[in-house]
């Protein structure tokens, strides 16, 4: 039924159409291509707010075990961007953007006032601000707060558990990986911190542009409320909802009938992870070698210069050629720094593979749960039937003991049957709801997966093209340097 | 039991190093100097070539006399580069090539001979064409004879017996080829030299058959007398010929010290660059295919990935060519000049010696006033000798410097060109890839009509 395509990410046509029809009625979230101007339903936060992670700062403090530690804190800056939107639009959507949440123990600040005010006042505040900024022609004020990496991790964990059907954007790596000799593997290294800062900003923007995730109030609070946020997250009790790894592993092995698309998706994500890791490893080695080639040319500069001192006619040519060799050797630093950004783009999708697998795992878990529940129901029904008819079709301890120690009294049997019938009733309802849950999950998960796929194709293509652009720029620089050098050599 | 078996080495025709070869190519003489197939590498386990055993070389029945073939098509610009400016090509009357290394195995030893082909219009030569086979020992002999005859002339360097710093193993194909090119250069430099080219031993080297050469070799002063000269040379130089050294030669010495240092450094740097480029090439070879592998699991991005893989592959090949260019031109030249700097040191020392002889004689007679007249003739002769030596050296030094300048200029320009070709090729590759991708993008945008 399902077509066996390599990526395995194409559902049947009919199914897709069905889903889309249903979707239109229910949620307004999972739609493709946020860039399309016609998608008026797209109300992601990223369009309304500028979010940046603008600074990183080393800090020391005492951790939970009262041990001194050094960590880096990141400054998140947000600024409302007022566009010429209709007030109605704002009225309609302000409810969704600023869900009523009144965190306790918060510190008073402008943002808190914003959050604490009632819905009516809220939209009025927005309108007022919009008018203000448009009339004054000034930017809205920048709000800011500091967060450390562990808080980002907490946010992501929360999102993964709360929205298991969503491919949740990954965080940049915790520790430097795929390093080549010039790069430091030290977490405190300023270049690493800088790249991580960019990665964290990217993460926030991804969440803010996700139609579903951007509406989450915990996320909003992460951006706007420095104090008490952790407590707020913990209060949601999301940790309890998290599935244990062991359970998930068990389900993966035992599930009998998962949706084929998810199985294929799992394979795809494994392949993606493996190939990108390999690519990044080799790229790091290539970068290392390239660095060597360029830097050794720098030695020419020094020696040419010293040699030129003893030459009369050749001196000038040598000296200036040497200068160009120095330029050549120095040029590799910028070139490879740019390439690191490319590597980071690929790395994001390396980590996305894990997010994809998480969604597949959730499906397997739900499916397994469903299968177990169905199995349990079937066996209960069987038991009931056996008790009612007195036939023993299956071996059971009860059956044996009753054979050995005598049959039960009819009253006992009646009681048992009644209990079983109740359980069966319950079981059937549960099964029905689980089935529904499962189908909903598959539907919404697959919608987000389609969204993700488009995003991935777009981003990867862009990254690959930017790689080509980088190579072109490197070649042009090389041509320039060697043309100059050749000119100098010709004057020797 | 072991008869001499002819196991030829590489089937290599004359390279394009020397000017002589090029003009012959210009004349359009193309043939093939193909030898039989190469045997196993262990055959080429050569012993030290110091022994005085007779050289057995096959009587090479001359095939095509005009058997030159370019191993690499020689571009017009590189041909021009290889002309020396000293004598214009029209003036040259002696063309020499060294090619066709062959391994000779005897019961006693194994060695390699090279074919030396000479073409000339000079009257002193009985014939206009000669083909002989020479082994490395013979070249050493020639060099020492030249040094003897012209102690203050700059005799071109010979390739070393073996290479310590290893980009090649001893007597591998690479080693033999490198040596062959250097020997070719050696003979051509001599041919270009206004004085050395008319040296009698040089002529015999080029023309004599094997047995003729060995009997001629035995005529000259033996090993012991040569050693004696060396000892005297060292002794006299110690005696402070330096104090009367004319300013000019002190300058030369100073120059040479720095030059020698720098050229050695450049040699090391060039080898290092070669190594880094080779390592880069090795990694790049693995880099491209990963993209192809990835493209297999992608639909949308698959073509882009394949295109990228293709680009990387092409750049890889371009890197290989760049490396080859380096090995072909820069490395041999720098190495030659490393050897030259040692030779020059030796030449300056010998000049000092000659002067030292004069000075010591003069000093000795300073105390014997009455006998001065008796030795005035001897002193006169020595003074003449010193003057001749000085003049010869000065002229040859100037010539050498000009040559060096020319060689360095052309070699480094060649390096720059090499790199330019590399970057231009890579640029073209990436630009065409980018163009193809942008076309695709536009096509995609046009067809975007989703509900």
The answer to whether the CB atoms of B426 and A475 lie below 8 A apart is yes
CA distance B150 to chain A (A): 27
Contact between B279 and A321 using a beta-carbon 8 Å cutoff: no
- Say yes or no for a CB contact (<8 Å) between A286 and B280: yes
Instruction: Name the CA radius of gyration of chain A, rounded.
Output: 31
Residues B251 and B397 in one domain: yes
Kindly give the confidence (pLDDT) of every residue in chain A, 492 residues in length, as a single tens digit, with 9 standing for 90 and above: 333 333 333 334 333 333 333 333 333 334 333 343 333 335 688 778 888 888 888 888 877 788 888 888 898 888 887 654 434 334 444 444 444 443 433 333 333 333 344 444 555 555 555 555 454 445 577 888 999 899 999 999 999 999 999 999 999 988 777 777 666 666 677 888 888 899 999 999 999 999 999 999 999 999 988 888 889 888 888 888 888 888 888 888 898 988 999 999 999 999 999 999 999 999 999 999 999 999 999 999 999 999 999 998 899 999 999 999 999 999 999 999 999 999 999 999 999 999 999 999 999 999 999 999 999 999 888 888 887 776 666 666 666 666 665 566 778 778 888 888 888 888 899 999 999 999 999 999 999 999 999 999 999 999 999 999 999 999 999 999 999 999 999 998
The dihedral over CA atoms of B259, B262, B267, B272, expressed in degrees to the nearest 10, equals 180
- How many Cβ pairs within 8 Å bridge chains A and B? 149
Per-residue pLDDT, A130: 54
pLDDT of residue A107: 37
Window 261-300 of B: residues touching A by CB (8 A cutoff) are 262, 265-266, 269, 272-273, 276-277, 279-280, 282-284, 286-287, 290-291, 293-294, 296-300
A475 touches chain B (CB under 8 A): yes
What pLDDT does B278 receive? 94
Residues B279 and B427 in one domain: yes
Same domain for B251 and B362, yes or no, is yes
Are B136 and B178 in a shared domain? Answer: yes
Same domain membership, residue B320 and residue B174: no
Measured distance between the N- and C-terminal CA atoms of chain B, rounded to whole angstroms: 90
Per residue in B30-49, pLDDT (tens digit) is 333 333 333 333 333 333 33
User: Which residue from A259, A249, A144, A254 is spatially nearest to A204, judged by alpha carbons?
Assistant: A144
Give Cβ neighbours of residue B443 (< 8 Å, ≥ 6 apart).
none
CB pair distance less than 8 Å for A490 and B409: yes
Q: Could you tell me how far CA A176 lies from the centroid of its own chain?
A: 18
- Among B171, B188, B221, residue at a domain's last position: B221
Residue at B323 is within a domain: yes
Residue B6 pairs in a beta bridge with: B104
Tell me whether residue B308 is in a domain.
Answer: yes
- For B100-127, how does the pLDDT look when each residue is reduced to its tens digit (9 = 90+)? 988 888 888 888 889 999 999 888 888 8
Inside any domain, residue B392: yes
Which of A268, A293, A469 is closest, CB to CB, to B276? A293
Crossing angle of helices B173-192 and B136-149, in 10° steps, is 30
Residue B210: inside a domain, yes or no? yes
Q: Does residue B252 sit in the same domain as residue B183?
A: no
Higher pLDDT, A243 or B70: A243
Contact B301 A460 (CB under 8 A): yes
Q: Residues A77, A91: contact at Cβ < 8 Å?
A: no
Looking at beta carbons, which residues of chain B come within 8 Å of A275? Answer: 290, 293-294, 297
The CATH number of whichever domain residue B418 belongs to comes to 1.20.1270.60
Decide if B273 and A297 are in contact by the 8 Å CB cutoff: yes
Q: Does residue B333 sit in the same domain as residue B376?
A: yes
> How large is the C-alpha radius of gyration of chain B?
28
Which residues on chain A are in Cβ contact (under 8 Å) with B413? Answer: 486, 489-490
d(CA B365, CA B371): 8
Please check whether residue A313 touches B, CB under 8 A.
Answer: yes
Within this chain, do residues B176 and B263 fall inside the same structural domain, yes or no? Answer: no
3-state secondary structure of A168: coil
Asked whether residue B213 falls in the same domain as residue B271, the answer is no
Q: What is the CATH number of the domain that holds B144?
A: 3.30.1520.10
Distance CA A418, CA B398 (A): 119
- Residue B96, classed as helix, strand or coil, is strand
For residue A56, give every residue at least 6 positions away whose Cβ sits within 8 Å of its Cβ, in sequence order, or none.
A72, A73, A74, A75, A193, A194, A196, A197
Q: Answer whether 0.90 is exceeded by the pTM.
A: no
User: Which whole number is the average pLDDT over B250-256?
Assistant: 91
Q: Do A321 and B412 touch (CB under 8 A)?
A: yes
Using CB atoms and an 8 Å cut-off, which of residues 340-369 of chain A contact chain B? Answer: none
Per-residue confidence (pLDDT) for residue A109, from 0 to 100: 36
Measured between alpha carbons, how far is A80 from A49 in angstroms, rounded to an integer?
4
As for how many domains chain B has, the answer is 2
Report the pLDDT value the prediction gives residue B109, as an integer from 0 to 100: 81
Contact flag A285-B311 (C-beta cutoff 8 Å):
no
Same domain, B190 and B98: yes
CA angle A224–A229–A234, rounded 5-degree value: 145
B406 has a chain A CB within 8 A of its CB: no
The pLDDT value given to residue B333:
94
Q: What is the pLDDT of residue B304?
A: 93
Looking at 3.40.50.150, 1.10.3300.10, 3.60.15.10, 3.30.1520.10, the CATH number of the domain A145-252 comes to 3.30.1520.10
Query: Where do you find CATH 1.20.1270.60 in chain A?
Result: 256-391+411-491
Among B221, B255, B289, identify where a domain stops: B221
Question: For residue B154, what pLDDT band results from cuts at 50, 70 and 90?
Answer: very high
Of B294, B416, B427, which has the smallest distance from its Cβ to A482's Cβ? Answer: B416
**CA neighbours closer than 13 Å in the CB half-sphere of residue A462:** 9
Residue range(s) occupied by CATH 3.30.1520.10 in chain A: 145-252
Q: Residue A486: its chain B contacts at CB < 8 A?
A: 413, 416-417, 420
| CATH architecture of the region A256-391+411-491 | Up-down Bundle (1.20)
Cβ distance B291 to A279 less than 8 Å, yes or no, reads yes
Q: Are A197 and A53 in contact (CB under 8 A)?
A: yes
Residue B258 belongs to what H/E stretch? helix B247-295
> Tell me, what's the pLDDT at A458?
94
Residue range B324-333: mean pLDDT, rounded = 92
Pairwise CB contact (< 8 Å): A460 & B272: no
Considering the domain architecture, whether residues B212 and B326 belong to the same structural domain is answered as no
- Asked whether residue B128 is assigned to any structural domain, the reply reads yes
Neighbour count for residue B396 (Cβ, 10 Å): 21
Q: What's the gap in Å between the CA of B318 and the closest CA on chain A?
A: 12
Q: Is B434 close to A293, i.e. CB distance below 8 A?
A: no
A282 Cα to chain B: minimum distance (Å) = 6
Residues 13-32 of A with CB under 8 A from B: 32
User: Which B residues in the span 297-336 are in contact with A, Cβ-Cβ below 8 Å?
Assistant: 297-301, 304-305, 308, 311, 315
pLDDT in tens, B167-193: 555 567 888 888 999 999 999 999 999
Beta-carbon separation of A471 and B450 below 8 A: no
B11 or B262, greater pLDDT: B262
Interatomic CA distance for residues A95 and B22, integer angstroms: 86
Q: At A62, is the secondary structure helix, strand, or coil?
A: strand
φ/ψ (deg, to 5) at B221: -60, 140
Q: Which domain holds residue B123?
A: 91-221
* Whether residues B212 and B260 fall in one domain: no
In this predicted structure, what is the pLDDT of residue B63?
Answer: 35
Q: In 3-state terms, what secondary structure has residue A147?
A: strand
């Amino acid at each position: 039924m399902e077509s066996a395509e390599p990526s395995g990410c194409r559902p049947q046509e009919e199914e897709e159409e069905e889903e889309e029809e249903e979707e239109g009625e229910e949620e307004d979230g999972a739609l493709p291509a946020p860039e399309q101007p016609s998608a008026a339903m797209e109300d992601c936060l990223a369009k309304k707010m500028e979010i940046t992670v603008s600074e990183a700062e080393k800090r020391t403090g005492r951790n939970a075990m009262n041990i001194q530690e050094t960590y880096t804190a990141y400054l998140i800056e947000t600024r409302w961007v007022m566009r010429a939107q209709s007030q109605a639009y704002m009225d309609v959507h302000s409810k969704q953007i600023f869900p009523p949440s009144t965190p306790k123990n918060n510190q008073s600040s402008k943002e808190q006032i914003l959050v604490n005010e009632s819905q009516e006042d809220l939209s009025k505040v927005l309108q007022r601000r919009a008018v203000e900024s448009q009339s004054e022609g000034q930017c809205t004020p920048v709000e800011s707060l500091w967060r450390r990496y562990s808080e980002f991790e907490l946010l992501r964990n929360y999102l993964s558990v709360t929205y298991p059907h969503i491919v949740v954007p990954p965080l940049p790596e915790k520790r430097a990986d795929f390093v080549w000799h010039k790069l430091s593997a030290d977490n405190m290294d300023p270049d690493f911190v800088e790249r991580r800062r960019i990665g964290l900003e990217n993460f926030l923007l991804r969440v803010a542009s996700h139609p579903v995730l951007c509406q989450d109030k915990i996320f909003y609070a992460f951006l706007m409320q420095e104090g008490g946020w952790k407590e707020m997250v913990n209060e949601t009790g999301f940790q309890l909802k998290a599935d244990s790894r062991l359970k998930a592993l068990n389900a993966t092995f035992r599930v009998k009938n998962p949706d084929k698309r998810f199985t294929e998706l799992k394979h795809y994500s494994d392949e993606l992870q493996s190939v990108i890791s390999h690519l990044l490893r080799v790229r790091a080695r290539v970068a290392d070698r390239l660095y060597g080639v360029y830097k050794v040319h720098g030695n020419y500069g020094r020696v040419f210069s010293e040699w030129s001192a003893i030459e009369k006619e050749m001196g000038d040519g040598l000296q200036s050629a040497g200068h160009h060799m120095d330029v050549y050797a120095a040029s590799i630093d910028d070139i490879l720094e740019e390439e690191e950004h490319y590597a980071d783009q690929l790395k994001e999708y390396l980590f996305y593979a894990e997010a994809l697998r998480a969604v597949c795992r959730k499906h397997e878990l739900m499916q397994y749960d469903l299968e177990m529940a169905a199995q349990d129901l079937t066996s209960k029904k069987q038991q009931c039937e056996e008790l009612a008819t007195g036939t023993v079709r299956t071996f059971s301890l009860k059956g044996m003991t009753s054979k050995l120690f005598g049959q039960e009294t009819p009253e006992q049997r009646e009681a048992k049957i009644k209990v079983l019938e109740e359980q069966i009733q319950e079981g059937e309802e549960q099964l029905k709801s689980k089935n529904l849950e499962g189908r909903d999950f598959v539907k919404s998960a697959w919608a987000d997966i389609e969204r993700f796929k488009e995003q991935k194709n777009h981003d990867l293509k862009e990254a690959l093209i930017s790689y080509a652009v980088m190579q072109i720029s490197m070649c042009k620089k090389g041509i320039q340097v060697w043309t100059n050098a050749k000119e100098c050599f010709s004057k020797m | 039991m072991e008869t001499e078996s002819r196991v030829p080495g590489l089937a290599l025709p004359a390279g394009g190093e020397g000017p002589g070869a090029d003009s012959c190519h210009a004349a359009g003489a193309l043939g093939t100097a193909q030898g039989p197939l190469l045997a196993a590498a262990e055959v080429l386990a050569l012993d030290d070539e110091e022994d005085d055993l007779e050289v057995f070389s096959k009587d090479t029945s001359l095939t095509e006399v005009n058997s030159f073939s370019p191993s690499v098509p020689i571009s017009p610009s590189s041909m021009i580069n290889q002309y020396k400016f000293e004598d214009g090509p029209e003036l040259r009357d002696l063309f020499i090539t060294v090619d066709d290394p062959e391994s000779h195995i005897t019961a006693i030893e194994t060695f390699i001979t090279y074919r030396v082909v000479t073409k000339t219009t000079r009257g002193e030569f009985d014939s206009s064409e000669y083909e002989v086979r020479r082994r490395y020992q013979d070249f050493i002999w020639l060099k020492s004879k030249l040094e003897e005859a012209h102690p203050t002339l700059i005799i071109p360097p010979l390739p070393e017996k073996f290479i310590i710093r290893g980009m090649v193993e001893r007597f591998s194909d690479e080693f033999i080829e490198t040596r062959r090119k250097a020997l070719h250069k050696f003979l051509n430099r001599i041919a270009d030299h206004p004085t050395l080219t008319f040296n009698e031993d040089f002529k015999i080297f080029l023309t004599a058959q094997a047995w003729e050469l060995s009997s001629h070799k035995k005529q000259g002063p033996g090993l012991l007398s040569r050693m004696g000269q060396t000892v005297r040379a060292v002794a006299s130089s110690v005696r402070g010929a330096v104090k009367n050294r004319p300013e000019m030669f002190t300058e030369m010495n100073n120059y040479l010290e720095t030059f020698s240092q720098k050229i050695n450094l450049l040699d090391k740097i060039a080898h290092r660059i070669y190594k880094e480029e080779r390592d880069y090439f090795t990694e790049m070879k693995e880099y491209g295919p990963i993209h192809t592998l990835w493209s297999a699991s992608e639909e949308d991005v698959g073509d882009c990935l394949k295109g990228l893989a293709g680009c990387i592959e092409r750049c890889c090949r371009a890197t290989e060519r760049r490396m080859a260019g380096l090995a072909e031109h820069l490395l041999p030249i720098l190495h030659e000049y490393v050897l030259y700097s040692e030779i020059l040191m030796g030449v300056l020392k010998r000049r000092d010696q000659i002067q030292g002889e004069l000075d010591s004689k003069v000093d000795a007679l300073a105390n014997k006033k009455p006998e001065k007249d008796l030795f005035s003739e001897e002193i006169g002769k020595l003074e003449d000798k010193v003057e001749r030596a000085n003049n010869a050296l000065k002229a040859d030094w100037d010539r050498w410097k000009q040559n060096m300048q020319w060689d360095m200029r052309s070699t480094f320009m060649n390096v720059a060109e090499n790199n330019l070709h590399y970057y231009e090729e890579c640029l073209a590759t990436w630009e065409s890839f980018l163009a193809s991708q942008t076309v695709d993008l536009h096509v995609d945008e046009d067809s975007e009509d989703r509900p």
